[in-house]
Amino acid sequence: MAMITSLTMNFPHISTHNNYNNIYSNQKFSTVCTNNTCNLSSRSSLEPLTWQITLNSLHLSKQLTAYHYVNQRIHLRKNRKMKVICGRSEPLKVMISGAPASGKGTQCELIVQKFGLVHISTGDLLRAELSAGTDIGNKAKEYMNSGRLVPDEIVTAMVTARLSREDAKEKGWLLDGYPRTLAQAESLERLNIRPDIYIVLDVPDEILIDRCVGRKLDPLTGKIYHVTHFPPETEDIKARLITRPDDTEEKVKSRLQIYKQNAESILPVYSNIMKKVDGNRDKDAVFAEIDSLLSRVQKEEQDARKSEAVISSTRADITSLNKDWRGIPTRLNNIPHSREIREYFYTDVLQATQRAVNDGKTRLKIEISIPELNPSMDVYRIGTLMELIRVLALSFADDGKRVKVCVQGSMGEGALAGMPLQLAGSRKILEFMDWGDYGALGTFVNIGSIGGKEVGEQDDLFILVAPQNAVGNCIIDDMKAMTDAAGNRPVILVNPKLKDLPGSSGIMQTMGRDKRLEYAASFEICYQFRLLYYAGTQYPIMGALRMSYPYPYELYKRVDESPGKEKYISLATFAKRPSVDEMNDAFEGKSRNQAKRAQGFWGFLSGIL
């Protein structure tokens, strides 16, 4: 039987490590901190920080190994200003919608009981404003007394005033049945009031009509009964029950029609966060699904926060990093590259990727095309790519993140079974590489395949090694399953090749081409470096295109200074990836508003997608 052990550890000099605070991202560690945010920049570098840890003794050995790995590497990092976020997530913001008799009121009660949200109903708000005699209540009363509907701007004012109160900010909120119209939804959007999830209770019309028509009201207690599903407890109660005026079949059908029209009108505003729940079930079954949805939203919020920067750096710091950039190395066509050149590019890629992850980006792509990183020209160069992967993985591991490095396996069946030649043996290379003396591999860094089943709860970040299609087979299905399972955790593609490679039948054996292209384009480039050549050649180098997040694309021209010497000079910058014509124009010295042409010797530059 597993024994639960309580353990207290001291981590001395923790302020010298840039992000050990992310130890809480490990699911087996439960950190205890008295404050929501502990600023360590003011602590003495010799003052130990005590964490209380509860873990299952079966995992004790592995977790101590992980502790030693991080604790040893603490002393390898420079002092940095940082703060610790002790896993406090933002409060939930929920909207729930449902037709009359859908069970929305019951589910709101259960949600409030479980999650402690502030329940906000426009009916309750209106009654409170009228009772208190506020300005909003008096204005609403004028409309109601004259038989008119209360205008959207008055209802929205009530809702926003309630949402601005401290309890709603601290506990989170549950908006019940609001917004009802497109105008109300757009008003909230303009005020930047948006839920984390929009729940719709889906119940068939005939069930709703039966629920309404059979509904009875106890005028003495205000309690609602149903002649079949929830009969009164006694004959005395049954005798005094009445039918509400709007619970006739004709009026119910009319209300359902109005509800559907309004619901359809606001659907585009919340379509990406809408979750339909089958409301034609027992209330406990319905709530079990809602509970699961809200818990998942909370977890994704926590995962997103784990992916944010915990090192407090300013935009000036980032600008300073870019100003310190040394420029493009020379003699890049001379291979193998020196270790200095390789490490130069590893650092350049790492800094851009870290900035993107620290800014909360979750779907990232690295494209670096230099001779030493092009395995398609010479298979031995896969080792250089593996070195780059190791630098990325170990750096994020130093930050306390658990990194999964993923290499695709064999795809297809029969004659089409296999994997791209450039990746053959790459997983074995990773497994036998030197990952340092601190036990990173198997604790903070793990190696796996590409697919949804590879995503574990303990994983914080995923690095996919050169994912690419094979003839007649497509890796995108496995990638999509993985990103879906990863949720808001960062997924980083390194030198992906996601163009179609149809088989002899012209079939890719996967989703439609438009969807494949759309999915491939959903990854944001955080780093790109590409050498530019004359059309159809690999020599001489004419220039280079570089982009390092969050900076614009930079176009450089290579210039020979003297025999054996060269340099790169800046030609232009672009807010987005430039076209071949735009780059040709910059090389020819043409202004961007001149008519573009692509012909002759400068017809195009090779190597540009």
Catalytic residues: 104, 180, 215, 244, 255
505 close to 340: Cβ distance less than 8 angstroms: no
25 close to 400: Cβ distance less than 8 angstroms: yes
476 close to 522: Cβ distance less than 8 angstroms: no
Residue 409 to residue 449: CA distance in whole angstroms? 6
Q: Rounded to a whole number, what is the distance in angstroms from the first to the last CA of the chain?
A: 58
Please state at what angle helix 60-74 crosses helix 382-398, rounded to 10 degrees: 90
24 close to 31: Cβ distance less than 8 angstroms: yes
DSSP letter string, 96-148:
EEE-TTSSHHHHHHHHHHHH-PEEEEHHHHHHHHHHHT-HHHHHHHHHHHTTP
- C-alpha count within 13 angstroms, C-beta hemisphere, residue 475: 26
C-beta neighbour count of 452 within 10 angstroms: 15
Q: How far is CA 258 from the centre of its chain?
A: 36
- The rounded radius of gyration (Å) of the Cα atoms in the chain is 30
**What string of H, E and C letters represents the secondary structure of 145-197?**
HCCCCCCHHHHHHHHHHHHCCHHHHHHCEEEECCCCCHHHHHHHHHCCCCCCE
Closest CA to 70 of 402, 455, 407: 402
Closest CA to 526 of 362, 390, 327, 409: 362
Residue 297 to residue 273: CA distance in whole angstroms? 10
545 close to 532: Cβ distance less than 8 angstroms: yes
- C-alpha count within 13 angstroms, C-beta hemisphere, residue 472: 12
Under the phi-then-psi rule, with left for phi > 0, alpha for psi from -120 to 50, and beta for the rest, what region is 442?
Answer: left
**What string of H, E and C letters represents the secondary structure of 528-591?**
EEEEEEECCCCCCEEEEEEEECCCCEEEEEEEEEECCEEEEEEEEEECCCCCHHHHHHHHHCCC
Identity of the residue numbered 199: I
Residue whose token pair is 């360590």:
40
